[in-house]
Chains A and B, each alone.
Chain A
Amino acid sequence: MIYKWKRLGENSLFLMPSIILTITLGIYPLVWMLRYMFYDYAGYGEALFIGLDNFSRLIRDALFWESVRNTFVFAGGKLLLTLPLSLLLAVILNGRLRGSNLLRGIYFMPTVISTAVISVVFYNIFNSYNGMVNTVLMKLHLVSQPVDWLGPKHAMLTVIIVAVWGAVGNYMLLFLAGLQSIPQDLYESASIDGANAGRRFWNITLPMLAPVAQMVIMLAIIASLKGYESIMVITEGGPIGKTEVMYLYLYKLLFPVSTGSPVTQQLGYGSAVGFASAVIVGAVTGLYFFFSRKMNKVY
């Protein structure tokens, strides 16, 4: 018994750094935020208790709901392009391709490079007045006028393209790990039975990959709903709010940037928006888990 307690003491000691960090950097800020949702607070001075006023403001806040809509458009577009593309690349690279290690590294590179750097580069590639894309398109006489890639019509498409470019390599690697865990004997047996490549993919690869795919898709959904960094650099949520996603809207409330005239932090309302955003992301993830529960069944 004493030995058990000692073991528990030792284990707790090893867990202590993680526990302390979780409490100070995770739980405490969360409790802090939950409290200030009910206050009018600018980060200094008196915090004024206003009950549910922040939530009634949230309900009638057209900017917030527009950002929610933009988030779903952005996330949907990103997922629809990223997931099939990363799976396709993973399947190709899982074969005995020459130089597949090099290609793996190349595709994974965007994950390693800073998002801010990637975004600045893409801003220069897509900008209307001297961007590389327009220069190439005009040189090839595919367009007569520069396309306003970052304008109101195309800005969302542009930020989705950048997001896809940045994410494909990451999910490709996860799918690749899943693919490599599928026993080769299954493929060999199927080949002996006369199954072609398409059949093998459909009847062996996809079902065997399902548990991994479930986790990958979940990670992709959360990352897409929470992603805002590249948008912040490329368009700052503009033009006219066309690319303002939920977490960028939240960021601007909590960390407003002064362009000369004074700005005020809205920590109280920002906390309410943060809570609502987290609930939305949680709800979507929960729904996904419910509808994808069969994927967890390993054949």
Chain B
Amino acid sequence: MQKKWWGLSLSFMLAAGIAGCGGNNNGNGGTATKAPEAGTASPAATAAADTEGAASEPVQLKYWTDDRHDQEYIKELINTFNETNGENIQVELTVMSENYAQSVDIAFTSNQAPDVLRLKSGNTGEFVKKGYLAPIDGYLTDDIKTKFGSVIIDNVNRFDGKVYSLANTGLTLRLIYNKDLFDKAGIANPPASLQEMVEDAKKITEAGKAEGVYGFALNFKSPKSAFDRSIREILSLSGYQGLGFDLKTGQFDFAPYSQTIEYFKQMYEDKSILPGAETLDIDPLRAQFAAGKIGMYLSFSTEPGVYKDQFPTDINWAGALAPTLDGQIKGTSEIVSAGTWLGISAKSAHQEAAWKFMQYMYGDDVLKTYHEKGFGIAVVPSIVEQAKNPEIAGMEGFLVGEHDSLWPAVPNVTPEGATYADAFFKYILAGGDAKAITEDLNTRYNAALSKAVEKGEVKVTPDAAFDPLKPQGE
């Protein structure tokens, strides 16, 4: 019996030992680019250590990103930084594949947070609320403030007066159209108004239906994703905020949204939309566009890169400004996902070193090359001035021009019941009372807004003088 107990105890100790020896790889399933080990430091670091005569431990920083399109360039940058920073800082890059936000949540909960994080407009506010990010105001010199000042925006990269990230690139949104199909249908120019878009879609479908060609498509499998890449831009160029918020009153008003929806509904009734678009994802849509089966759709400035690498195509395509409600431009095309790039973890023990790395990444050369390689469209004014245009086919239609600008951030609220995208998409497919749907959305969204304001989660400042042609003021 004694032996049995000894055996069992030993088994437990072994099991505990094995568990304790388990490697810690952050449990994120990402791919990591290891910084050189202390013992095998880069030549520069080794030389520095030699001259100092004391091999101090390197400062290890972890940088997490969910960007995959630029990872080779980022790896190069990090290797250069590791070799040249002169302060023995070693950055390890981890590229996430899926569920970035959840991985970050788990990392912070389990005290394995990275030191530097890739921030996007979709997650920055949440990360700030959760206390993941350290403000960087203390590091902002006058030069940095001058360089980035015009793209420091409340509720985008500045929250409650504190700055958490700086801008690098943004995404412009355009109508993407197949020139050959337009020519075949006898259409000279991309549509300027929604009525023209409906008519063009019909003409293209009539001319090409026999070959399975349709005038229009969107990735309606996720209505929100579809509308936020199309209607958002149509409305901002038409002079309205693109997510249903009225900046002048500080309330939600889906009436302009509802007007736009009528034209989409018309295209659906005309059967000008690719069959099966109700459950179409963005990549299958792109594959069909690359195959010359879709006349036009609306999307981000990521598309030129997609048709260069992901779905190489021979079709003659281009990007143009989105159509507007009545053909008149009464606002500016909103540049989205701008204002944030990198941020520092509030839990990092090496915030100074993390800032050093951020400073390097926000250097003129890095930002300029990032734009020129086509990884994103620069929004920092001094970079826009000096950077050359990216040499990617189709990118010329997406470059920031006179009709593009950043818009103020709008409150993010979660209503009870269906979102505006689901409610309006249901109207397109199944019909109903558009006025009642709009009123219901206004009621539910404004109720959620009041609740969020009451809880202190959201601040709303109506701007009666808001000018959609100058959304950032003068």
Residues of A within 8 A of B (CB): 6, 10, 13, 43-45, 48, 57, 61-63, 123, 127-131, 145-146, 148-152, 155, 234-236, 238-241, 255, 258-264, 266
Contact = CB atoms under 8 A, between A and B. Distances in A.
16 contacts: A10-B4, A44-B130, A128-B275, A128-B276, A129-B280, A131-B276, A148-B278, A150-B278, A150-B279, A151-B275, A151-B276, A238-B223, A259-B225, A261-B224, A261-B412, A262-B122
Nearest to B224: A259
Contacts of A57: 416
Interface in B351-410: none
B337 A260 contact: yes
Interface string B266-297: 00000000111011100010001000010000
A98 B311 CA distance: 47
A150 B429 CA distance: 13
A239 B225 contact: no
Nearest to A57: B416
B222 A152 contact: no
Contacts of A123: 279
A238 B130 contact: no
Given A149-B276, A255-B102, A259-B224, 4 more contacts: A61-B416, A129-B280, A235-B279, A238-B221
B27 to A, nearest CB: 16
Interface in B64-98: none
Contacts of B335: none
A232 to B, nearest CB: 11
Contact of A234 (B279, B425, B430): B279
Contacts of B422: 240-241
Contacts, number: 114
A44 B133 CA distance: 14
Contacts of A151: 275-276, 278-279
Contact of A238 (B278, B288, B336, B337): B278
A146 B275 contact: yes
Given A57-B416, A258-B101, A239 B279 contact: yes
B123 interface: yes
Contacts of B221: 235-236, 238
B463 interface: no
Interface string B162-199: 00000000000000000000000000000000000000
B129 interface: yes
B278 A239 contact: yes
Most chain B beta carbons < 10 A, residue from A131, A152, A266: A152
Contacts of B337: 260
A238 B274 CA distance: 17
Contacts of A62: 417
9 closest A-B pairs by CB: A128-B276, A239-B278, A259-B225, A150-B279, A44-B130, A240-B426, A258-B122, A128-B275, A262-B412
B140 interface: no
A98 to B, nearest CB: 42
A150 B276 contact: yes
Contacts of B225: 259-260
A264 B426 contact: no
Contacts of A44: 126, 129-131
B1 interface: yes
Nearest to A256: B414
Contacts of A131: 276
A167 B183 CA distance: 50
B418 A63 contact: yes
Interface string B96-132: 0000011001000000000000000111011001110
A127 B417 contact: no
B154 interface: no
Given A240-B430, A241-B426, A261 B122 contact: yes
A255 B276 CA distance: 26
Interface of B: 1, 4, 8, 101-102, 105, 121-123, 125-126, 129-131, 212, 220-225, 228-229, 243, 274-276, 278-280, 284, 288, 293, 336-337, 412, 414, 416-418, 422, 425-426, 429-430, 455, 457
Contact of B126 (A48, A145, A150, A264): A264
B201 to A, nearest CB: 16
Contacts of B8: 10, 13
Contacts of A259: 122, 222, 224-225, 228
Contacts of A45: 129-130, 457
Contact of B279 (A63, A127, A146): A127
B4 to A, nearest CB: 7
Contacts of B126: 44, 262, 264
A155 B279 contact: yes
B275 A148 contact: yes
Given A146-B275, A264-B412, A239 B429 contact: yes
A148 B276 contact: yes
A162 B213 CA distance: 29
Contacts of A263: 122, 412, 414
Contacts of A238: 220-221, 223, 278-279
Nearest to A147: B275
Contacts of A43: 105
Contacts of B412: 261-264
Contacts of A255: 102
Contacts of A241: 418, 422, 426
A180 to B, nearest CB: 38
A63 B422 CA distance: 11
Contacts of B417: 61-63
A263 to B, nearest CB: 8
B425 A240 contact: yes
A9 B389 CA distance: 74
A76 B225 CA distance: 32
Nearest to A46: B455
A262 B425 CA distance: 20
Nearest to B425: A240
A105 B276 CA distance: 34
Nearest to B428: A240
Contacts of A260: 121-122, 225, 228-229, 336-337
A168 B467 CA distance: 61
Given A239-B429, A240-B430, A261 B243 contact: yes
A238 B225 CA distance: 13
Nearest to A60: B416
Contacts of A240: 278, 422, 425-426, 429-430
A151 B273 CA distance: 13
Given A240-B429, A258-B122, A260-B121, A127 B222 contact: no
Most chain B beta carbons < 10 A, residue from A44, A123, A152, A234: A44
B276 A129 contact: yes
A262 B121 contact: yes
A262 B278 contact: no
A148 B278 CA distance: 9
